[in-house]
């Protein structure tokens, strides 16, 4: 069901009592969207509507200091100052969507919350008390209508960027100021993936790098089957036969599951099958399911067969690749380390057994693909390794590498360009991808500098960024 205000209006048009738009909007936002994190946000930036406030008992309330946000356990805000009637209170503030959440969360029996001097709620459905039984002053937060309207627009927007209808030059400037934080967040998230691979490989960094590299060879479409292939074929098995390009290709294609699904096998494929049959028995290998691979709507040069052949070539021609990656600081030489091309067999084909073209040409991994691997494999690897070993120079180079690489070309970057935000480097494009995937798509507008600018804009009478 659509959550637009117009749809809600149509659903309530037959209700006996009349809602004006402001009342409907307030109920819509409070009951559909309201979460405690929003209340904390409104409280922190003083986005309530009335200049004068009253507790639910009718006493006049003055907010002198909202206090400091508490990100740990305990009351939501510390060291607040409020005046209730003629009494000045200094203490903590707790916020809930419903007053009854106080008891539901067990605060009524928790002495930690006896220091609360004000209970702020979106809906007052009961009286709240300290563990001693003493009643705590309570107020219903009356949020500004302009802020409620913006929340409704943000969270009901069907645009890819929720705040698109508010977009202006100020938004672009604020976004660029947040790029450093966004890139750090993205590298931290990718570093967790590296750490997980490292734990699974029992601390073997080259093995973890090998699996991560394989995953990114498959890009977004075939990343999973490439990762499964690498996990099913340990690097130590390849290392024993890496001097032979043919044997490496037999191992890799055999484990991909594609070698057993060739309808019109030529001499080369038959040779690969025989070689793999020997290795399968020798290493007790089990190939992955060939159905994992995706072929539809893909450029022929990015087909699984070509990518696997290129990966096999990289394994064959690389010696101590992990160690070289760690030491190298020149971008062109890093690109050279990851450059590879499919074997001669693939000069006329895009899949096993298929002769797709009579014109021969080299299936070399493109410069753009190499750069994508540098962005998604090498930069996170350097960042994770530097954190583990306390190497600040290497960590700085992870950021420098992104600054030197050209911006990625994908649908997300194209979308941002429509809003006037151009990615000048991979550093920028990674920030924009992070913003879209982990803020826009998840509705984390309150944690976004642009979302904050929209909700707490000067014309709302609230916080001025």
Residue 11: pLDDT over 70:
no
H-helix or E-strand containing 188? helix 179-200
pLDDT in tens, 293-307: 998 878 887 889 999
H or E, element range at 119: strand 116-123
Examine the pLDDT at 154 and tell me if it is beyond 80.
no
pLDDT tens for residues 323-355? 999 999 999 999 999 999 999 999 888 888 877
For residue 70, pLDDT beyond 80: yes
Mean pLDDT over each residue of the chain, to the nearest integer = 86
Of 443, 369, 449, nearest in space to 3 by CA: 443
DSSP for residue 437: I
> pLDDT tier at 32 (50, 70, 90 boundaries)?
very low
Q: CA–CA separation, 410 vs 303, rounded Å?
A: 18
Q: How confident is the model at residue 379 (pLDDT cuts 50, 70, 90)?
A: very high
Burial of 381 (0-12, 13-18, 19+ CB in 10 A): buried
Q: What percent of the chain has pLDDT over 90?
A: 62
Kindly state the helix (H) or strand (E) to which residue 11 belongs, with its residue range: helix 5-11
Q: Residue 129: which residues within 8 A CB-CB, separation 6 or more?
A: 108, 135, 136
Query: For the chain, first and last CA: distance in Å?
Result: 35
pLDDT tens by residue, 124-140: 899 999 999 999 999 99
pLDDT reading at 27 higher than 80: no
Residue 50 has a pLDDT of: 67
Is pLDDT above 80 for 463?
no
Identify the residue whose tokens are 């402001």.
22
The residue-averaged pLDDT of 399-412 equals 96
Q: What count of other Cβ atoms lies within 10 Å of the Cβ of residue 313?
A: 23
Span 408-418, average pLDDT: 93
Average pLDDT over residues 91-115: 92
Q: Of 15 and 395, which is predicted with more confidence?
A: 395
Q: Is the pLDDT of residue 427 over 90?
A: yes
- Read off the pLDDT band of 457 (50, 70, 90): low
- Residues pairing with 98 in the sheet: 123
Is residue 25 scored above 60 in pLDDT?
Answer: no
Compute the radius of gyration of the chain from its Cα atoms.
30
Tell me the whole-structure pTM to 2 decimals: 0.77
Is residue 119 pLDDT above 80, yes or no? yes
Per-residue pLDDT for 3 more than 60? no
pLDDT at 14: 43
* Predicted pLDDT at 51: 65
Taking only the tens place, the pLDDT of each residue in 243-278 is 999 999 999 999 999 998 787 788 999 999 999 999
User: CA 182, CA 177: separation in Å to the nearest integer?
Assistant: 10
pLDDT tens, 172-219?
888 888 999 999 999 999 999 999 999 999 999 999 999 999 999 998
Report how far apart, in Å, the C-alpha atoms of 40 and of each of 23, 43, 76, 328 are: 22, 5, 7, 47
Domain layout of the chain by residue ranges? 5-156, 165-178+407-460, 182-404
| Residue 96 pLDDT class (50, 70, 90 cuts) | very high
pLDDT given for residue 203 in this prediction: 95
Q: Is the pLDDT of residue 109 over 60?
A: yes
Average confidence (pLDDT) over 218-225: 92
8 Å CB contact between 359 and 172: no
């Amino acid at each position: 069901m659509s959550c637009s205000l117009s749809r809600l209006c149509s659903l309530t048009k037959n209700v006996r009592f009349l809602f004006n738009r402001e009342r409907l909007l307030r109920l819509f936002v409070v009951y559909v969207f309201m979460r405690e994190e929003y209340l904390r946000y409104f409280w922190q930036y003083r986005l309530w509507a009335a200049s004068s406030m009253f507790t639910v008992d009718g006493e006049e309330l003055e907010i002198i200091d909202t206090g400091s946000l508490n990100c740990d356990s305990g009351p939501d805000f510390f060291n607040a100052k409020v005046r209730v009637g003629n009494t000045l209170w200094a203490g903590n503030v707790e916020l809930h969507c419903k007053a009854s959440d106080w008891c539901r969360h067990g605060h009524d029996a928790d002495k930690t919350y006896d220091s609360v001097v004000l209970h702020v709620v979106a809906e007052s459905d009961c009286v709240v008390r300290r563990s001693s039984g003493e009643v705590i002053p309570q107020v219903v937060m009356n949020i500004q209508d302009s802020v409620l309207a913006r929340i409704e627009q943000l969270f009901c927007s069907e645009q890819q960027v929720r705040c698109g209808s508010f977009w202006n030059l100020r938004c672009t400037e604020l976004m660029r100021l947040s790029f450093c934080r966004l890139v750090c967040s993205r590298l931290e998230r990718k570093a967790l993936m590296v750490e997980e691979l490292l734990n699974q490989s029992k601390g073997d960094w080259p093995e973890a790098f090998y699996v991560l590299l394989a995953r990114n060879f498959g890009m977004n479409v075939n990343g999973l089957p490439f990762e499964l292939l690498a996990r099913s074929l340990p690097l130590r098995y390849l290392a024993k036969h890496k001097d032979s390009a043919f044997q490496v290709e037999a191992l890799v294609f055999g484990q991909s599951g594609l070698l057993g699904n060739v309808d019109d096998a030529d001499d080369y494929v038959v040779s690969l099958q025989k070689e793999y049959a020997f290795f399968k028995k020798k290493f007790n290998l089990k190939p992955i399911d060939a159905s994992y691979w995706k072929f539809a709507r893909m450029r022929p040069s990015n087909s699984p067969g070509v990518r696997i052949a290129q990966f096999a070539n990289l394994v064959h021609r690389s010696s101590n690749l992990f160690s070289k990656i760690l030491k190298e600081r020149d971008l062109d030489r890093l690109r050279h380390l990851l450059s590879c091309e499919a074997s001669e067999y693939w000069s006329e084909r895009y899949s096993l057994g298929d002769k797709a073209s009579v014109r021969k040409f080299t299936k070399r991994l493109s410069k753009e693909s190499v750069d994508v691997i540098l962005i998604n494999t090498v930069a996170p690897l350097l960042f994770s390794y530097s954190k583990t070993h306390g190497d600040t120079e290497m960590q700085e180079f992870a950021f420098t590498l992104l600054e030197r690489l050209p911006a990625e070309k994908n649908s997300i970057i194209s979308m941002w360009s429509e809003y006037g935000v151009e990615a000048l480097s991979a550093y920028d494009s990674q920030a924009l991808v992070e913003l879209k995937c982990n803020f826009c798509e998840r509705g984390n507008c309150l944690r976004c500098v642009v979302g904050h600018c929209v909700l707490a804009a000067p014309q709302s009478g609230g916080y001025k960024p």
